[in-house]
């Protein structure tokens, strides 16, 4: 069955970005001139997923508004004949079939994904974290879908991280396969200490999941941080083999956790530098700025 549904959890509190996220979702923070969430939806659509379910919560109305029409703005731009901006405003409205469900309390990523059960039904689906941007030149999600097409299993994206960072991620125990960059995940642990970590392969924010994940999530009790962890349900699938077990695609490209302040700044600098319209001027300013040791 081809995968057409994408689930985007965006109901977290974004505490690492306070006070900016007190009244505004972190997924709406702009990366140059588009909110982070739009890059994520564009990535899903680029990978062939046309049905997007966003998991939202209180304070998250801006997310729905961004993907809806703004008729007042449209008529002002039309009157001015500003076709370029009108196209940009239309783009987010017509990207995909958008659906929303609320997670009443942010009880963890696993809890958020479980809210998608009614919409997804019993079919495989993709999950893209709403604050995690993968560089648009990468084709990670498409590759994960290909791996799933060849061998039905739940697929996680893995990235090597510095051992000092393993306590921030779900970490995988893996076995290599004949397929370059594809591994079988035999176990997973959420946020281990550097000493207890079985590897430095961290689970990052893209998943292709078999529907068996819903059964596993129903059974999952609160774990690390008192939250229902998606990693714990995936560990269940990896060790029981339910739904074909868990495979991993090792990703070596660029990604940014825009919920982390430093990563967010890096995302803006990279995206701006690579833009055709802003890049040349921005890069030359950046060069001068660094030359002046930040005093410019
Ligand atoms: P994070 O752990 O990065 O989100 O979750 P957070 O809890 O908002 O972050 P901090 O630590 O407080 O800054 C990754 C993704 O999962 C979503 C978030 O919105 C984010 O896109 N999420 C997390 C939910 O949808 N619900 C939750 O209960 C937790």
Q: Is 165:202 a contact under the CB 8 Å cutoff? A: yes
- 270 is a domain residue: no
pLDDT exceeds cutoff 90 at 147: yes
What rounded mean pLDDT belongs to the chain? 94
- 60 is a domain residue: yes
Q: DSSP per residue over 12-38, as a string?
A: ---GGGTTTTSSS-GGGSEETTEEHHH
- Position in ligand 1 atom list of the atom nearest CA 129: 21
For residue 206, the CA-to-ligand 1 centroid distance in Å is 14
Q: Is the CB of 112 under 6 A from ligand 1?
A: yes
The pLDDT tens digits of the residues spanning 38-93 come to: 999 999 999 999 999 999 988 789 999 999 999 999 999 999 999 999 999 998 88
The Cα–Cα gap between 254 and 149 comes to: 25
Q: Cα(first)–Cα(last) distance of the chain, in Å?
A: 56
Give the residue, by CA position, lying nearest to ligand 1 atom 14: 129
- 245 is a domain residue: yes
Distances (CA, A) of 57 to 60, 179, 235: 6, 40, 27
- Position in ligand 1 atom list of the atom nearest CA 25: 19
- 35 is a domain residue: yes
What is the band of 226 on the pLDDT scale with cuts at 50, 70, 90? Answer: confident
Q: Tell me the residue ranges of DSSP E strands in 62-163.
A: 97-102, 125-128, 132-134, 154-160
- 149 is a domain residue: yes
As for how many domains the chain has, the answer is 1
- 190 is a domain residue: yes
The pLDDT tens digits of the residues spanning 9-38 come to: 999 999 999 999 999 999 999 999 999 999
Q: Is the CB of 115 under 6 A from ligand 1?
A: no
Q: Is the CB of 16 under 6 A from ligand 1?
A: yes
Using alpha carbons only, give the angle 82, 83, 87 rounded to the nearest 5 degrees: 125
Using alpha carbons only, give the angle 103, 67, 141 rounded to the nearest 5 degrees: 75
For the domain that residue 84 is a member of, what is the CATH number?
A: 3.90.550.10
pLDDT at position 159, please?
96
Q: Is the CB of 14 under 6 A from ligand 1?
A: yes
Q: Is the CB of 245 under 6 A from ligand 1?
A: no
For residue 131, the CA-to-ligand 1 centroid distance in Å is 8
- 288 is a domain residue: no
Q: Domain range holding 115? A: 5-259
- 226 is a domain residue: yes
- Position in ligand 1 atom list of the atom nearest CA 10: 19
Collapse the DSSP code of 92 into the 3-class scheme (helix H, G, I; strand E, B; otherwise coil) and give the result.
helix
pLDDT at position 42, please?
96
């Amino acid at each position: 069955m081809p995968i057409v549904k994408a689930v985007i959890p965006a109901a977290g509190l974004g505490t690492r970005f306070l006070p900016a996220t007190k009244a505004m979702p972190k997924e709406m923070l702009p990366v140059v001139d588009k909110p982070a969430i739009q890059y994520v939806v564009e990535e899903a659509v680029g990978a062939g997923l046309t049905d997007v379910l966003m998991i939202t919560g209180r304070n998250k109305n801006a997310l729905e508004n961004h993907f809806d029409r703004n008729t007042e703005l449209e008529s002002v731009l039309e009157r001015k004949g500003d076709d370029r901006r009108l196209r940009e405003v239309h783009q987010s409205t017509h990207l995909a079939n958008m659906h929303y469900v609320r997670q009443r309390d942010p009880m963890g990523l696993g809890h958020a994904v479980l809210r998608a059960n009614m919409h997804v039904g019993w079919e495989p689906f993709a999950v893209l974290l709403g604050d995690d941007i993968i560089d648009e030149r990468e084709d990670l999600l498409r590759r994960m879908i290909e791996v799933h097409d060849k061998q039905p299993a739940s697929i996680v994206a893995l990235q090597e991280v510095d051992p000092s960072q393993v306590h921030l991620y779900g970490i995988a125990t893996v076995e290599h396969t004949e397929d370059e960059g594809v591994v079988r995940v035999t176990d997973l642990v959420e946020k281990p200490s550097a000493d207890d970590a079985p590897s430095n392969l961290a689970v990052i924010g893209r998943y292709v999941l078999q529907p068996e994940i819903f059964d596993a999530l129903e059974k999952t009790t609160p774990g690390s941080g008192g939250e229902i962890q998606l990693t714990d349900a995936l560990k269940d699938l990896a060790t029981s083999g339910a739904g074909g077990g868990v495979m991993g695609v090792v990703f070596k490209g660029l990604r940014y956790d825009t919920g982390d302040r430093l990563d967010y700044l890096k995302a803006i600098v990279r995206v701006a530098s690579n833009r055709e319209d802003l890049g040349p001027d921005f890069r030359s300013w950046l060069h001068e700025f660094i030359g002046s040791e930040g005093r410019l």
